[in-house]
Amino acid sequence: MTQTQEPVATQAEDEQLSADAERRRLEVRSREARRHEARRLESLGKLAGGIAHDFNNLLAVVTNYASFVTEEIAAVAAESGDDRWKSVLNDIGQIQRAAERATALTRQLLAFGRREAIKPRVLSLNQVVAGLEQALRDMVGEQVRLTISLHPDAGSVFADHDQLEQVLVNLVANAREAMPDGGVLSIDTANVDLDEDAVAARVGLRPGPHARLRVSDNGVGIPEDALGLVFEPFFTTKVKGEGSGLGLATVYGVISQFGGHTEVASEEGLGTTVTCLLPEADSEAAETGPLVAVLESTVPVLMSTATAPKSAETAPKTPKSTETASKSTETAPERTATATESPDGHAGGGETILLVEDEDAMREVTQRILARNGYQVLTAAGAAEAIALVGGGDEARDDIDLLITDVIMPGMHGGELAGLIRALLPTVRVVYISGYAHPVLASRGRLDADVILLKKPFTEGVLLETVRRILSGG
């Protein structure tokens, strides 16, 4: 009897060992596939961020020159009383509104690229959801029944409040659109403790407590062959023209930027569940609190169902020719202005500003705004020209009150340039202008505490308010 059982037992053990080996092989393959997917999305993020950076320069030029033209035509129309100018102003208005929509798209690309300047602080996940509840109920309408379940111990996270709200808005908008005939949309929070095995299946996470945000619907679901593409920018299962394809890409970028993970489970005809996991805020984050002033343009961001919150090194630009050096100029104000003459009270009083921007059109429009509002403006197309303008040692000029510098420039980024200028002129103040500020970011993706960043595209009013406030010691 014993001799008969031994081969059977040995066979069962061999089968179990083979099954275990096959399971481990599949787990390794699955982990490699997820790592590959994460690297692919990271590469897409770099590309998207680089495009957004250059596009923001173009938008700043379009927006501000359209504003200049509007100002001139409005003055002519008022003086002449000719109604024909009204149609011209309406046409310019269409240009400005198109620029506003493009601004919304670039901000979504920056969020996906995870290189956006952020204002993180410790937030209660439940409070973020509760604060949006009424707006979300208005958004889904009467055909969709919205249920919200907030676990009292869901915990706090270290994140940007506006971006976290945008994550929720995007998820709810997607869920609503998946239920054209109505249905049930559920939002719930919880706190989950992830062990080594759990994080092994989720790229980017570490073991420990995590706050979980989950949004579920019983809508049409996502086709199985599309599930692997849902985080890609501009991918959408919607009818052409009904979505930008950036909603889930933005969610992925924002959650990943704060050390989290996003996953989607869906079945056609049954619905979709999106789960976002964020590390619970630690004591270090709690002590840090808000870190920096990030100044945003008043160019409106359209809060459509696909709009994302308010980028990866760009490809190296062709070096400037030797002719560029001659573009370092000092520009006197086009008109003398005082604070009392400015409708916004932000005009200059003759202060000298060093403006460093490698994009010609961007440099020219910024210089024009400053000069026509009472500032003396020195311009440089790069770091070397800026340093040459300042001089060195005993010959360094001491009349520069403010340095305004782009962040991404060939050869030396704005953060390095500011350090060199401050070594020569310790009292000079600095404002960075950029749509992509990654090189001046500090650890954990946060801006250094003394960094003032004005996001592109900015308007004339926002630029002037920022300059006036900084020069006044604000």
Domain CATH code at residue 154: 3.30.565.10
Question: Could you give the CA distance from residue 15 to residue 100 in angstroms, rounded to a whole number?
Answer: 63
Q: Model confidence over 410-442: pLDDT tens digits? A: 888 888 899 899 988 999 999 998 876 554 545
Note whether 125 and 235 are same-domain residues: yes
Q: Which residues in the chain land under pLDDT 70?
A: 1-9, 11-17, 19-20, 22-53, 107-119, 233-246, 282-348, 393-394, 436-450, 474
pLDDT of residue 293: 39
Q: Both 380 and 255 in a single domain?
A: no
Structural domain includes residue 9: no
- pLDDT of res. 341: 39
The predicted pLDDT at position 304 comes to 28
Confidence (pTM)? 0.54
Whether 159 and 60 map to the same domain: the answer is no
Do 91 and 164 belong together in one domain?
A: no
331 lies in the same domain as 398: yes
74: in domain: yes
- On whether residue 7 sits in a domain, the answer given is no
Give me the sheet containing 376-380, strands edge to edge: 293-295, 452-455, 429-434, 402-406, 352-356, 376-380, 329-331
Residue 348: predicted pLDDT:
64
Q: Note whether 285 and 303 are same-domain residues.
A: no
Domain for residue 8, yes or no?
no
Q: Is residue 12 part of a domain?
A: no
Return the structure tokens found at 40. 């692919």
For the chain, what is the HEC assignment?
CHHHHHHHHHHHHHHHHHHHHHHHHHHHHHHHHHHHHHHHHHHHHHHHHHHHHHHHHHHHHHHHHHHHHHHHHHHHHHHHCCCHHHHHHHHHHHHHHHHHHHHHHHHHHHHHHCCCCCCEEEEEHHHHHHHHHHHHHHHHCCCEEEEEEECCCCCEEEEEHHHHHHHHHHHHHHHHHCCCCCEEEEEEEEEEEECHHHHHCCCCCCCEEEEEEEEEECCCCCCHHHHHHCCCCCCCCCCCCCCCCCHHHHHHHHHHHCCCEEEEEEECCCEEEEEEEEEECCHHHHHHCCCCEEECCCCCCCCCCCCCCCCCCCCCCCCCCHHHHHHCEEECCCCCCCCCCCCCCCCCCCCEEEEECCCHHHHHHHHHHHHCCCCEEEEECCHHHHHHHHCCHHHCCCCCCEEEEECCCCCCCHHHHHHHHHHHCCCCEEEEEECCCHHHECHHHCECCCCEEEECCCCHHHHHHHHHHHHCCC
Q: Which residues pair with 447 in a beta bridge?
A: 441
Both 23 and 125 in one domain: the answer is no
Classify residue 407: in a domain, yes or no. Answer: yes
Same domain, 162 and 216: yes
14 alpha-carbon distance from chain centroid: 54
Task: Indicate if 263 and 307 belong to the same structural domain.
Answer: no
Question: Half-sphere exposure of residue 40, counting CA atoms within 13 Å on the CB side?
Answer: 11
Q: Are residues 166 and 266 in the same domain?
A: yes
Provide the residue type at 404 as one letter.
I
For position 153, what pLDDT does the model report? Answer: 92
User: Which residues share a beta bridge with 271?
Assistant: 267
Phi, psi of 151 (to 5 degrees): -75, 130
Sequence-ordered list of residues with C-beta below 8 angstroms from that of 117, at least 6 positions apart, any chain: 292, 294, 434, 437, 441, 447, 453, 455
CATH number at residue 402: 3.40.50.2300
Q: What is the bridge-based pairing of β-strands 352-356 and 402-406? A: parallel
**How many domains does the structure of the chain reveal?**
2
Within 10 A of 183 (CB to CB), how many other CB atoms are there? 18
Decide which of 240, 265, 290 is a domain's last residue.
Answer: 290
312 and 447 in a single domain? The answer is yes
pLDDT of residue 251: 87
CA distance 389 to 383: 10
> Is 66 in the same domain as 163?
no
What's the pLDDT score for residue 313?
32
Domain enclosing residue 84, as ranges: 17-116+291-474
